[in-house]
Amino acid sequence: MANRQRRVLVIGAGGQARDVRFVLDQLRTAGRPFTFAGYVVSDLAQLTDRDSRRDVVGDLSFLRAHRDRFDALALAIGSPDVRLQVAAALEAEFGPDMWPALVHPSAILDWGTCRMAHGVLLCPGVVGTVNVVLGPYCMVNYSCTLGHEASIGRGCVVNPGANLSGGVVLEEGGLIGTGAQILQYRHVGRGATVGAGAVVTRDVAEGATVVGVPARPMPRLRGPERD
């Protein structure tokens, strides 16, 4: 496999999918063995004008019917919950080796000390230092920074321009908004959301949503409004 191009099908067809295609194109230009093979979606009937219809090759059934048409898969889904669901289903069917880590050539990490699992996506301009841990299917978007010993859990999504200080831990399924700042050694619980531009100075509880400067939990709705 190392001596030929790996044909990568991208799961998704929206803006994030186009970003993943861009990373694949950049990797190919840099001499890495990846080439874009098309987009696959869960439901063709749900495609909109914002999706890249022309390059959609089929729905998920395409993966089973045309196993000879691809060598690898890449997730292009911005919702951590959906990323985790789709990844679990497809990994069970096709295995973890089908999901290469895709690292844009401009990304910087201490490759000797970082640990990177399958299905990771690092976009242009990501900068990390030492002992960074990147869990399966996590995505770190454009121009993010990751401090020493930062740990990004399975299926997490870190959106553009976010800054994670040293020792920050994001548990599985965390969502970090654009431009958020998380101070050193803070812990963001499983499935939590940090709003865009928030500054996290305290640990964030599992499933919580925090916003603002400093970041505070959003009020919970009561009564009928909660439904």
**Residues assigned a catalytic role:** 148
- Is the separation of the CB atoms in 106 and 123 below 8 Å? no
Contact 37, 69 (CB under 8 A): yes
End-to-end CA distance of the chain: 51
Q: Give me the amino acid identity at 185.
A: Y
Query: How far, CA to CA in Å, does 108 sit from each of 124, 145, 188?
Result: 9, 9, 24
Count other Cβ atoms within 10 Å, centred on residue 185. 13
